[in-house]
């Protein structure tokens, strides 16, 4: 069975199925198509299915022209149900793994997708979980369900964990150029997984188990979360000392060894860094461990929107204006620059919090034309044009996301700029700039 699947993967006759067509799954599907595989894309969001079948991308930085060509040529299907998964030889699960309101892992998307998939599993398939999760998930959830189906991993089917490493909007790293970590529940599973990923990725890093692969992903994002928390805390200290932390980071970056630059901001955003460390924190409790360092970093990063608001209140007070009734322009609402991703964005948190304080909020973002249900359910906001008039009509401008396409020279016309991204290296001669 293993050799038969090996051969199909090698000669590009194996059908690749990607479940979950978001920021991870969609690039993965396009990558498999570009490598010459017949493909199936499955997503329960029917608006996504409709968009892709019409050749329209719902993720700004992802070009779906090649995918649409494959659809028209019949080498790719985009479906809203799991029936076609029965035709797949390789199945990649790329569904969300958020936290619930208690900051505990919510694996309902994984379990729900696998339940829907289970009726279509059969001998001779490779199943790979790519969603970020805590160490042990692949064995504890998926392997147990495979066993319940009467299938044996490593003989009938092959089960691996290979964490996604997407960096949305980063033009320097396409999916196929990022090394892929892979761990299997058996040696045979690992062999098949490594063989498949080596066809669509330049480098595959094999590890001893799915648990090691799961822990690798958690380490990567915990490393980033902790270091960002460090510079966020140092930003507050530096501000009290009247030191520009961005100048300090640039100077420290001149050291050719032993230092890697991380940058402060108004808080953490995206699906990974604000979420993934808490998967490990939750799992560690099972072993009687308390991950104090990770939780402290989470507290620091979570508090940053409040710090920006505190600096905003201070700036408005210097102008003799209360927050209540002030017109505040939020510049950038996505969680990082040059993309349209709003997941866990601190800019959204700023809008909600300042609205609750009575401020009149407007926003400008070249990548997000409208916000729905923000700041409250049923509400709708639209991006305003960034003009001298718009800026002069605002009591304060908060730089929450530093998109490259924005003309920051216009902000010289502002009464007050609260800069959380280091756009202004020093205080402007023409307007009041407060570092936040």
Token readout for 48 is 């996504």
Strands in 234-343 per DSSP E: 327-331
The residue whose two tokens read 């029965």 is 86
What CA–CA distance (Å, rounded) separates 6 from 364? Answer: 51
Q: SS3 of 26, please?
A: helix
Angle between helices 65-73 and 25-34 (to 10 degrees): 60
Residue closest to 91 by CA, chosen among 59, 120, 50: 120
Q: Do residues 418 and 398 lie in contact, with contact meaning Cβ atoms separated by under 8 Å?
A: yes
Angle between helices 210-240 and 292-318 (to 10 degrees): 30
Token readout for 249 is 């980071």
Q: Do residues 6 and 26 lie in contact, with contact meaning Cβ atoms separated by under 8 Å?
A: no
For residue 417, give the H/E element and its range: strand 416-419
Q: SS3 of 211, please?
A: helix
Q: Do residues 343 and 275 lie in contact, with contact meaning Cβ atoms separated by under 8 Å?
A: no
Catalytic residue among 272, 360, 396, 431: 272
Asked whether the bond before 375 is cis by omega within 30 degrees of 0, the reply is: yes
What CA–CA distance (Å, rounded) separates 280 from 300? Answer: 18
- Measured CA distances, 211 to 25, 184, 291 (Å): 22, 9, 18
User: Could you tell me where the DSSP H helices lie in 54-185?
Assistant: 65-73, 108-118, 137, 144-148
- CB-based burial label for 159 (10 Å; 0-12, 13-18, 19+): buried
Q: Do residues 310 and 374 lie in contact, with contact meaning Cβ atoms separated by under 8 Å?
A: no
Task: Give, as one character, the DSSP assignment of residue 245.
Answer: H
Q: Which residues in 187-208 are b (16+ Cβ under 10 Å) and which e? A: eebbbbbbbbbebbbeebebbe
- CB-based burial label for 102 (10 Å; 0-12, 13-18, 19+): exposed
Task: Give, as one character, the DSSP assignment of residue 93.
Answer: E
Q: Does residue 17 carry a catalytic annotation?
A: no
The set of residues, in sequence order, having a beta carbon less than 8 Å from that of 50 and lying 6+ positions away, is none
Catalytically active residues are 272
């Amino acid at each position: 069975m293993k050799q038969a699947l090996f051969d199909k993967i090698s000669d590009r006759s194996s059908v690749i199925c990607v479940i979950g067509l978001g920021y991870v799954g969609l690039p993965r599907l396009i990558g498999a198509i570009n490598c010459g595989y017949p493909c199936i894309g499955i997503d329960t969001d029917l608006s996504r299915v409709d968009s892709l079948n019409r050749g329209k991308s719902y993720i700004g930085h992802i070009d779906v022209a090649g995918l649409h060509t494959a659809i028209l040529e019949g080498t790719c299907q985009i479906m809203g149900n799991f029936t076609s998964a029965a035709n797949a030889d390789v199945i990649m699960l790329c569904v969300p793994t958020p936290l619930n309101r208690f900051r505990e892992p919510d694996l309902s998307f994984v379990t729900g997708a696998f339940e829907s998939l289970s009726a279509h599993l059969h001998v001779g398939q490779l199943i790979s979980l790519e969603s970020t999760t805590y160490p042990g998930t692949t064995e504890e959830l998926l392997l147990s369900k495979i066993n319940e189906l009467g299938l044996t991993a490593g003989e009938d089917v092959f089960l691996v964990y290979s964490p996604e490493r997407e960096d949305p909007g980063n033009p320097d790293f396409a999916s196929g150029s990022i090394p892929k970590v892979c761990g299997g529940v058996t040696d045979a599973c690992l062999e098949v997984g490594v063989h498949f990923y080596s066809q669509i990725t330049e480098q595959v890093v094999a590890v001893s188990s799915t648990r090691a692969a799961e822990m690798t992903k958690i380490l990567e994002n915990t490393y980033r979360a902790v270091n960002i928390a460090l510079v966020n805390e140092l930003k507050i200290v530096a501000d009290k000392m009247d030191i520009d932390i961005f100048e300090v980071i640039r100077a420290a970056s001149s050291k050719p060894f032993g230092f890697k630059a991380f940058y402060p901001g108004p808080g953490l955003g995206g699906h990974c860094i604000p979420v993934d460390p808490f998967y490990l924190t939750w799992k560690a409790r099972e072993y009687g461990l308390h991950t104090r360092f990770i939780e402290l970093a989470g507290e620091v990063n979570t508090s940053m929107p409040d710090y920006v608001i505190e600096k905003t209140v201070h700036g408005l007070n210097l102008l003799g204006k209360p927050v209540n009734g002030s017109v505040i322009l939020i510049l950038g609402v996505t969680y990082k620059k040059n993309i349209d991703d709003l997941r866990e964005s601190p800019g959204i948190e700023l809008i909600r919090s300042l609205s609750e304080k009575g401020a009149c909020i407007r926003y400008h973002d070249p990548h997000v034309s409208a916000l729905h249900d923000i700041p409250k359910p049923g509400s709708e906001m639209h991006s305003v044009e960034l003009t001298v008039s718009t800026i002069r009509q605002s009591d304060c401008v908060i730089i929450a996301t530093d998109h490259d396409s924005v003309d920051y020279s216009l902000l010289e016309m502002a009464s007050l700029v609260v800069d959380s991204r280091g756009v202004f290296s020093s205080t402007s001669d023409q307007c009041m700039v407060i570092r936040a």
